[in-house]
A and B are shown apart, each in its own frame.
Chain A
Amino acid sequence: DAGVTQSPTHLIKTRGQQVTLRCSPKSGHDTVSWYQQALGQGPQFIFQYYEEEERQRGNFPDRFSGHQFPNYSSELNVNALLLGDSALYLCASSPQGTLANYGYTFGSGTRLTVV
């Protein structure tokens, strides 16, 4: 049973460009959350998607947007990239309504470098 799958694993982009990161949740999970982890820090919550809608959002600008598809997979889009957007982007999935019991399953992340 595959866990959370993220693609690509590594990415290099230039300032001002746009990037799309992809995530397939663990089988049986319908809720996807995205986190940004800068070097040496803990993951920071970006937003969560359930039933194809953004349900919760952290303190991130509108340059960060997302989408969830009917098969529960998700995309994270970042526009007008800044050097400070360089980070490990983590996708986490869970079954809706049971977060308190089961917590999250995390993917291995996408390492984004902005130059």
Chain B
Amino acid sequence: DAKTTQPPSMDCAEGRAANLPCNHSTISGNEYVYWYRQIHSQGPQYIIHGLKNNETNEMASLIITEDRKSSTLILPHATLRDTAVYYCIAPIYGQNFVFGPGTRLSVLP
């Protein structure tokens, strides 16, 4: 996997946008960037993934820089239920995911 670097923790006010950064400076041209989150004691939940272009789905938006060395996951209107550990992963094509420690997001009322 391309090595990814995320801040260990972040806070966000309820109703505001949560912007979670990830650095993946060693990513190669065919490696996607995936985001998962894990709410306490549950299995990781898929959020979004992308290769080059920005992506949006019902959960979040993913902004990937033009040089693909970093990305930002955006939760547009964070709720208390978005409190979780968020993982950014850039697996080598065909290989398994390597999880780092992730970012612990706390959404505050």
A-side residues, CB < 8 A to B, are 4, 33, 35, 41-45, 48, 56, 58, 88, 90, 92, 99-101, 103-109, 111
Contacts and interface: CB of A to CB of B under 8 A. Distances in A.
Interface in B31-61: 32, 34, 36, 41-46, 49
Interface of B: 30, 32, 34, 36, 41-46, 49, 85, 87, 91, 93-102
A99 B94 contact: yes
- Chain B interface, >50% SS class: loop
Contacts of A42: 85, 87, 99-102
Contacts of B43: 4, 90, 92, 106-109
Contacts of B34: 103
A35 B96 CA distance: 10
B46 A105 contact: yes
Contacts of B85: 42
8 contacts: A4-B43, A43-B44, A43-B99, A44-B99, A90-B43, A100-B91, A103-B46, A106-B44
A84 B97 CA distance: 22
Contacts, number: 55
A108 B45 CA distance: 10
Nearest to A40: B101
B96 A45 contact: yes
A11 to B, nearest CB: 14
Nearest to A111: B41
Nearest to A58: B96
Nearest to B30: A100
A48 B80 CA distance: 34
Contacts of B42: 108-109
Given A105-B46, A109-B43, A41 B96 contact: no
Contacts of A104: 44, 46, 97
B93 A48 contact: no
A33 B30 CA distance: 22
A100 B93 contact: yes
